[in-house]
Amino acid sequence: MGASTSNTRRRVVWVALLVLFVLAAGGYGLVLRAGGAARPEATAPAARPVPVVAAPARARDMGVYITGLGSVTPLNTATIHTRVDGQLMSVRFQEGQHVNRGDLLAEIDPRPFEAQLTQYQGQLARDQALLDNARVDLERYQTLAAQDAIPTQQLDTQQSLVRQYAGAVENDQGLIDSARVQLAYCRITSPIGGRAGLRLVDPGNIVHAADAGGIVVITQLQPIAVVFTIPEDNIPAVLDRLQRGVRITVEAYDREQKRKLSTGTLLTIDNQVDASTGTVKLKATFPNTDNRLFSSQFVNARLLLDVQHNATVVPAAAIQRSPRGAFVYVVRPDQTVGVRPVTVGVADGDDVAIAAGLAVGEPVVVDGADRLRDGARVAVQARGAA
Segment 371-376 shows an average pLDDT of: 87
Supply φ then ψ for residue 313, to 5 degrees: -125, 150
Q: How far is the C-alpha of 117 from the C-alpha of 120, rounded, in Å?
A: 5
* Sign of the torsion formed by the C-alpha atoms of 115, 121, 125 and 126: positive
pLDDT of 42 reads 42
In a shared domain, residues 85 and 210: yes
Of 276, 278, 222, nearest to 68 by C-alpha is 278
Compute φ and ψ for 174, nearest 5 degrees.
-65, -40
Does 207 lie in the same domain as 89?
Answer: yes
Q: What is the pLDDT of residue 7?
A: 57
- Both 105 and 167 in one domain: the answer is yes
Q: Which of 292, 309, 326 marks a domain boundary?
A: 309
**309 band by pLDDT with thresholds 50, 70 and 90:** confident
Q: Same domain for 88 and 197?
A: yes
Residue-averaged pLDDT of the chain: 86
Q: pTM (2 decimals)? A: 0.65
Give the separation between CA 220 and CA 286, rounded to whole angstroms: 12
What span, in angstroms and rounded, lies between the C-alpha atoms of 289 and 14? 116
DSSP secondary structure, 192-258, as one string: S-EEE----S-TT-EE-TT-SS-SEEEE--SSEEEEEEEEGGGHHHHHHHHHTT---EEEEE-TTS-
- Report yes or no on 340 lying in a domain: yes
Task: Give the model's pLDDT for residue 35.
Answer: 46
**How far apart (Å, rounded) are the C-alpha atoms in residues 347 and 53?**
21
* Separation of alpha carbons 66 and 348, rounded Å: 11
pLDDT at position 272 over 60: yes
Check which CATH number belongs to the domain holding 303 and give it.
2.40.30.170
Average pLDDT value for residue range 86-96? 93
Residue 386 lies in a domain: no
Write the pLDDT tens digit of every residue in 216-262: 999 999 999 999 999 999 999 999 998 888 899 999 999 888 899 99
Work out the pLDDT band at 37, boundaries 50, 70, 90: very low
Distance between CA atoms of 72 and 239, rounded to whole angstroms?
Answer: 22
Check whether residue 240 and residue 211 sit in a common domain: no
Instruction: Identify whether residues 87 and 210 lie together within a single domain.
Output: yes
- Helix, strand, coil percentages, rounded to 5, for the chain: 30, 40, 30
Q: Which domain holds residue 116?
A: 81-215
**How many domains in the chain?**
4
> What average pLDDT does this structure show over 104-113?
95
In a domain, 183, yes or no: yes
pLDDT at 38: 40
> Mean pLDDT throughout 110-136?
94
Q: Do 182 and 85 share a domain, yes or no?
A: yes
Answer yes or no: do 316 and 294 share one domain.
no
Residue 158 within a domain: yes
Task: Please say if the pLDDT value at position 385 is more than 80.
Answer: no
Task: Please tell me the predicted confidence (pLDDT) of residue 349.
Answer: 75
Half-sphere exposure of 253 (CA within 13 A, CB side): 15
What is the CATH number for 114? 2.40.50.100
- Residue 356 is assigned to a structural domain of this protein: yes
Task: Output the pLDDT for position 33.
Answer: 54
Tell whether the torsion through CA atoms of 353, 259, 286 and 271 is positive or negative: negative
N-terminal to C-terminal alpha carbon distance within the chain = 95
Find the mean pLDDT for residues 137-144: 88
pLDDT of residue 22: 61
Mean pLDDT (whole number) for 267-273:
92
- What percent of the chain clears pLDDT 90, i.e. is strictly above it? 55
Which residue, of 250, 285, 309, is where some domain finishes? 309
End residue of a domain, out of 181, 215, 249: 215
| CATH number of the domain bearing residue 333 | 2.40.420.20
Residue pair 226/73 in contact by the 8 Å Cβ criterion: yes
Q: Residue 12 and residue 193: Cα distance in Å, rounded?
A: 132
Q: Check whether residue 85 and residue 206 sit in a common domain.
A: yes
Selected residue with higher pLDDT from 157 and 23: 157
pLDDT tens readout for residues 3-22: 455 556 666 556 666 666 66
Residue 179 predicted with pLDDT over 90: yes
Please check whether residues 304 and 332 belong to one and the same domain: no
Do 24 and 103 share a domain, yes or no? no
Tell me the average pLDDT across 141-160: 87
Question: pLDDT above 70 covers what percent of the chain?
Answer: 87
Q: How far apart are CA 129 and CA 73, in angstroms?
A: 58
Cβ(299)–Cβ(71) under 8 Å? yes
95 and 208 share a domain?
A: yes
